[in-house]
Amino acid sequence: MADSNPLVKMPLRVRYHECDPQAVVFNAHYLAYADMACAEVFRELFGSYQAVLDRGFDMVVAESNVRYLAPCRYDDELLVSAYVERVGTTSLVLRFEVQNGELPATEVVNRYVWIDQATKRPAAPPEDIRAAFR
């Protein structure tokens, strides 16, 4: 999948309740896995997500794309890696790759929009926040 270095690599074990009647991870859980890895990105870059919120900015999901490449099942040990695809003025695109052992399982690409917390409108965060993603 990606040939660049990920911002984070988050290990994850599939829990029983995440599986559907076909005994594979239900599709929506991959978005949750990406969200969990995104939180780890903020922890790695800023110490916490709260550190960015404290500066008056938030980030909302504007678009998600999920590619299912191979099934994951109960008790599989996954690795979710997060990569920066693009840093815009008011947007950010992150790609999350889910590996099941050596096998690529899923790819999630999320486009986020930065917003001013007070107005809830798109707003460019300070340059140091954007620079952290470059």
- How many helices (H) and strands (E) the chain has is answered by 3, 5
- CATH superfamily for 8-132 is Hotdog Thioesterase (3.10.129.10)
Q: Where in the chain are the domains?
A: 8-132
Predicted structure pTM score:
0.94
**Reduced to 3 states, what is the DSSP secondary structure of residue 42?**
helix
> Which tens digit of pLDDT belongs to each residue from 15-51?
999 999 999 999 999 999 999 999 999 999 999 999 9
For residues 31 and 67, give the distance between their C-alpha atoms in angstroms, rounded to a whole number: 11
pLDDT score at 4? 82
Ranges of the chain whose pLDDT falls below 50: 1-2
CA torsion sign, 100 to 102 to 104 to 108?
Answer: positive
